[in-house]
Amino acid sequence: MTEQINDKYTQAIAASAVETDDVKVKEAVKKILDEHLQENMNTDVYKFLFNTIDLTTLKATDSPRSVADFTERVNAFDEEYPELKNVAAICVYPNFAQIVRAVLEVSSVDIACVSGGFPSSQTFPEVKVAETALAVEGGADEIDIVLNVGNFLDGDYEGVCDEIEEQKHACRDARLKVILETGALKTAENIKKASVLSLYSGADFLKTSTGKEFPGASLEAAYVMAQCIKDYHEKTGTMVGFKAAGGVATTAEAVAYYTIIKEVLGEEWLTNEYFRIGASRLANNLLSDILGKETKFF
């Protein structure tokens, strides 16, 4: 019986024709950027990218007061820059969902919470489910969880998928972002496998990284993930979003991810419903390039 269950997952992975040769992936990314990066280095794209940011504070020193102040800056942005679209979401630890919900006045900005034993995913499955449910109860619109990388590397695909499915159920109407921790997975082959498992377990978004223990987002990982999302969409008709996170700080870096998604997935994915960047430093850098002067608003 176990072999039959495992076959279900390995068959889903085998059915994907996404490229997993690391050299070829690197070459494909270079080709896209060589041909299309410069055309996207413009103010309109910068404004779009600003509106895709999950403005993030995930520090040990976060407190109700600091998170409330952080949220007030998002409120103030609407007043000070009415001509610009605000960030897409505020991303915090789950115990602060209620604080953000109480303070946030901008209806277009969602509340995202990391959950499920973030950033290591090392806790009891029951705790992960409870944490996710509590975050949603507190007001979270989106939940960012980490794929169980240890179980994945052990080949326990059933365990990995069961955890995602259980947390998806706990999300109720909130959207679920599954963080692959691509810096730990390392290879295109592993990133493809993790992407396929997450997609078929109900992920609403694939996200690259936590930005904590391992190297953050990479363009090669983004390319493989986008190809998996494309393949899944072609087979099921379901659109799944992409989020780059972990070390995306400069305008040029953000535009590079935009370029990959635009060329692999197309214009349909170029909305903040399906494209996000998780960042704390990027907002000020984009804002500076949009306004043409150094700006430190957040």
Could you give the residue numbers annotated as active site?
144, 207, 243
Q: How many Å separate Cα 30 from the centre of its chain?
A: 22
DSSP for 169-201 reads: HHHTTSEEEEE--HHHH-SHHHHHHHHHHHHTT
- What is the b/e burial string over 10-19, where b = at least 16 CB atoms within 10 angstroms of the residue's CB? eebbeebebb
In angstroms, the CA 225 to CA 196 distance is: 9
**Cβ–Cβ under 8 Å, residues 116 and 132:** yes
The Cα diameter of the chain in Å comes to 63
How many Å apart are CA 295 and CA 51, to the nearest integer? 17
Distance CA 160, CA 34 (A): 37
On the CB side of 179, how many CA atoms lie within 13 Å of its CA? 29
